[in-house]
Structures are given as structure tokens and as C-alpha cells.
Amino acid sequence: MLRFAANLTMLFTEYPPLERFGAASAAGFDTVEVLFPYDDPAPATRAAIDAAGVTLALINCPPPNYTGGARGFAAILGGQDRFQHDFRRTLRYAQALGPRFVHIMSGAAEGPAARATMIENLRWAAAEAGSQRLTIEPINRLDMPGYFLCDFDLAADILDAVGAPNIGLQFDAYHAHRITGDVIGTWNRLRERVVHVQVSGFPGRHEPAGGEIDYDAFFAQLDAEGYGGWISGEYNPAGRTEDGLGWIRR
């Protein structure tokens, strides 16, 4: 049976951030993710998680929210000190909030030096993280210009080079469609590496229903294969969040 989670950075924005946990629970979610939980004190967020009775699937690194700034430092040559500083801060939040995964963002970069830098940083992070599980996610360059980790084969190559058991692939179907044009084919090549799935519709990045991505077929395949991880709705609701959750019921 498929397990769905709500991305509280994008869903339930009708509510203040700390009230979104309860709103998600009331809508039927028992698991959520928050991309950047750093604007609120960790104890307050922990209390909101506990009061709602939900679990936290994922947070992003680096903090804080990158509005107007770099979107990650893992692949930035000469940025190792910044990467390590940010990662340690993320780990402190993770220890307080208990996310299953921490997604490490590569940042904007190019070429073999960026690949080598990301491998070096991920090896360090995997050792530093201990039991905390980590992910990397290919993100398309139309939405995020210059982003280094913009290719699924590159992600697989980096995971092989790092060789750490606590780092897996985060598979966003929206980005897979924009990068490859073939969500299910990309999934078939990489599913053994995938530890977390995110979904949104195309075009518009609204609810994952209709549009160019055949989510009925994708969800049916994940269910048939016994995918046991979470599928997180990471999209901009077309209207009120609760009114657009029919894609899960269907």
C-alpha cells in the first residue's frame, strides 16, 4: 500500500508554518516534510510535530532558507568550509526534529571539479551523519538554472563514487519529466537506488493529476513493485490545499 506525505513548505500555506502540521494531520496525513525548517526554533517545531502526531520524512540542507542566495554548496569548489558549517547546523536540527532523510543540495556549478568536490563533500557528510540517512536529488535547470546535479545518470555515478550506505536517491517525478521526458523509464533504471519520492503535476506544478505525467500508471507501478518509501506531494495547490487532495483518494 502506497504511503503519502505532505510537503508543508508548499502545501497548507493557508496556515502559519507551525500550524501546518496539525492541518496536515486533520487532512489525513501521518507524515510530512519541511524543506527549510530553520526559521522557527527547533523546540517549537518539535512540539508542533508531536502535537499533530505526525512523523517528519525530510528536511533540506543547507540552512537557512536560501531566498536570494546559493542553492547548496556540495559541488562548489572552494566551498567545503561553508558546506561543513551548514551541514553541522542541519544535523543539529535533524537531531531535534527526527527527519528520516536530509536532502543535500549541490548548488550551481559545472565540470569535473564540481563532481570531485561533491563526492568529497558527500563522503565527509556520510561519515559525519552517523545513522542519519541522506539523499541527493537531480533538479532540472529550467526551474533552477545552473544547478549542478541536473542529470540522473550523474547522480547514480556520484552515489557509486561515494559508496556510502546512508546516502540514496531522491526521485522527483516532476524533475524526471523535465530532465528526461520519461518518468517511468527513468524510474525503471534507478528504482533500486531510490529512497524517497516526490510528485507534482506538469505543467503548472500543481496537483499530480492529469497533465503530461501519467501518475495513474506511475502510482500503479510503485504499488505493484511494493515500493515502501514515502511519496510526498511537493506542489503548489491550484486552490485550497484540502480541496485538491482527491489525487490521493483516487
Question: Helix (H, G, I), strand (E, B), or coil: what is residue 59?
Answer: strand
Query: Which sign does the torsion angle of CA 70, 86, 76, 115 carry?
Result: negative
The one-letter amino acid at 153: D
pLDDT on residue 20? 98
**Spatial separation of the C-alpha atoms in residues 76 and 93, rounded to whole Å:** 23
Q: What is the pLDDT along the chain (250 residues), one digit of tens a residue?
A: 999 999 999 999 999 999 999 999 999 999 999 999 999 999 999 999 999 999 999 999 998 655 566 789 999 999 999 999 999 999 999 999 999 999 999 999 999 999 999 999 999 999 999 999 999 999 999 999 999 999 999 999 999 999 999 999 999 999 999 999 999 999 999 999 999 999 999 999 999 999 999 999 999 999 999 999 999 999 999 999 999 999 998 7
Give the structural domain span for 164. 3-249
Catalytic residues, by residue number, are: 137, 234
What is the number of structural domains in the chain?
1
What CATH number has the domain bearing residue 21? Answer: 3.20.20.150
**Spatial separation of the C-alpha atoms in residues 11 and 14, rounded to whole Å:** 8
Q: Is beta strand 101-104 parallel, antiparallel or unpaired with respect to 58-61?
A: parallel
